[in-house]
Structure 1
């Protein structure tokens, strides 16, 4: 990056910027699983736009559909009016994704971002049940606007709110304590008239905690959580924003547990090629909105609907769910072998194409050093978890085996170098 260009960002852009500090390059082009800086240096992308680019950068199938739509003067902005693009997206989503899975949901367009989707889900759950409290799990991340930030547990993010974050009771995640049954704990909170906890309108969860450190929640626990909600007249809300769109293997991450949430939220990769797009899926009996009771200017961004439909078509035509399962096994086998050789103190876990390498048993900052070493060697990889102690592997679902092994080897070699220097 030229000094002059760097000065532009440092002089005029807010101090809130973060990813540019971790990956200090000026980016110019991207294609498939690669991203290129202005000097032409090539980087493998295991960051994937924080989960917004499941189908890779500038996916040619999706891009062609969007370009054709724009070249034919397709409408770009339409609030929530009827459009051909919206009709085609809804029809394809219902017929090819939902109904084939036995899922009956109304589709709400709440705005362009994931936090819009979760805010809508929270508002609707409270309206349906007439209660203000909500249960969420420790280690969760659901957004940065005030309602979703009240759910989110990361200390620094919450500290930026400037106001009290209320109406949420945080429950220990099932992986946190070996001897605590969190389902029984939630039931006790409801049954004990001295618990001091108000009955919630909803339980909100990610079936795989991503920012919390890559924790796939046990399928039996998820089934029990579904039963707990049904038994106690509580809505189950699943946040599919980062772990949906086939990231875990099945298109919806809750499918692996065989459960059906009452409401679920999608954004990120549902936008097809990184376009801002969010959806809230609602069981028909809970769709009690009055017209205009929840709205937003950019809930009708038509190019995202075109890209979203194309993304679904691409996913099905290329059998990405099966590909993700196959590549997930490759990662598991590779990490099991290589990390065991390096150190038995390194933990790893994941599912599909979202994995975490955990350095909790090492000095603080070890994962960050590994991430920087990876970057120096042409791989972009983000951190997650408490104290950012987890390397977060999240490549595009379109990655081939050679590219996958290339990235995995960069990670392993970087870990070896950093641990040797400790």
Structure 2
């Protein structure tokens, strides 16, 4: 038994799916300690949009360290912090006409969600928060309260109060139904502080909300003074093409939660963007020891300068997304009557299967062939493709070949 198996908690998950010790990584590939390459279409669950160890980002990080840059400063002002804020405004917010203040809530996506929920209740004086079926927003207690998966919610071990679940767009219910359900809920239209939503539900099964539905949802929130929180933790930073996943819908959320790829290099970092008038915090009312991790600030700013000074990455991501989606459709067509369906947007794509057992077999078969693919959805029935946005078109074709062979293998095993 290895040291990891002896000492690592039973709570681990990905190491069970991919039982290999990885030694190094570059671009779209991870390498086992035996040197075997694995094409990475997991990308740290969407944390590595620019790939592993990007040389430009690595150089910026190493230079900062070699110059004795401040690595930890809580919320004190540092060169790295100011540089990040200046770059965020110049490259991301100002070109989109967005005015947000920035909360540094801690190192993880759940911290960004917790800050948003806490501030929404404080700013509105209301306590109820609405979330959607199959939603995933994190594993801390506040974030768990707005998750839509019953099994994940049960992991809290206690009651999750002051929340109400609404049907997501995939359930084919209109916003009028949502307005009615909110009105009939315990909080009602006057007691609901916020609605939190993902434009694409990643962990929930690659469910895509229509732009029209998002606009109508935003309008409902405005009519009733309910704050709209967009969780862009996995789908932001270019995953669907545009930097923010809500841009195509033409809406401006009251709050935006960012993490995962916001650091650009896989370093822990999260931001909660809030409308200026919602900045009603008292000093230190929301804090955390690692809300000022300067190394992540350095690579975040560098990644924005590198990839968001023009629209080349956005165009490339949309084109590669179409390439991959077309390949998925071909796989579906090759196995009629097997319950397969393609889904997704940009480079957040999925292959829906007949169930979790089939998806697990496909993922396992892909791993044996050198491709890392996660599964998702309420019953784990969706094979999920989240490659780095910098993946080559050749690697997309290679991944589709492996996926096709893996589907064939899994379906034969199923019979």
Please give the TM-score of this superposition, normalised by the length of structure 2.
0.97
SS at match of 2:379: helix
Written as runs of structure 1 = structure 2, the 5 A alignment for 1:102-251 is: 102-176=97-171, 178=172, 180-181=173-174, 183-192=175-184, 195-198=185-188, 199-251=191-243
Q: Separation in 1 of the partners of 2:83 and 2:258?
A: 18
1:66 to 45, 61, 64: 61
1:389 to 378, 381, 387: 381
Aligned to 1:3: none
Q: What is the root-mean-square deviation in Å for CA atoms of aligned residues?
A: 1.2
Q: Note if 1:356 corresponds to 2:350.
A: yes
Q: Separation in 1 of the partners of 2:389 and 2:318?
A: 10
Kindly tell me: are residues 364 and 90 of structure 1, through their superposed partners in 2, closer, same or farther at Cα, counting changes over 3 Å?
A: closer
Kindly tell me: are residues 262 and 363 of structure 1, through their superposed partners in 2, closer, same or farther at Cα, counting changes over 3 Å?
A: closer
Q: Separation in 1 of the partners of 2:181 and 2:345?
A: 31
Structure 2, unpaired ranges of 5+: none
Structure 1, unpaired ranges of 5+: 1-5
1:416 to 389, 408, 412: 408
Contact 1:216/1:350 (<8 A) preserved: yes
Aligned to 1:257: 249
Q: Separation in 2 of the partners of 1:60 and 1:377?
A: 27
Contact 2:45/2:234 (<8 A) preserved: yes
Q: Note if 1:276 corresponds to 2:271.
A: no
SS at match of 1:253: coil
Q: Separation in 1 of the partners of 2:117 and 2:276?
A: 16
Contact 1:110/1:117 (<8 A) preserved: yes
Kindly tell me: are residues 101 and 363 of structure 1, through their superposed partners in 2, closer, same or farther at Cα, counting changes over 3 Å?
A: closer
C-alpha deviation, 1:392, in angstroms? 0.3
Please give the TM-score of this superposition, normalised by the length of structure 1.
0.95
2:35 to 40, 50, 55: 40
Aligned to 2:331: 338
Contact 1:189/1:197 (<8 A) preserved: no
Give the number of equivalent residue pairs: 410
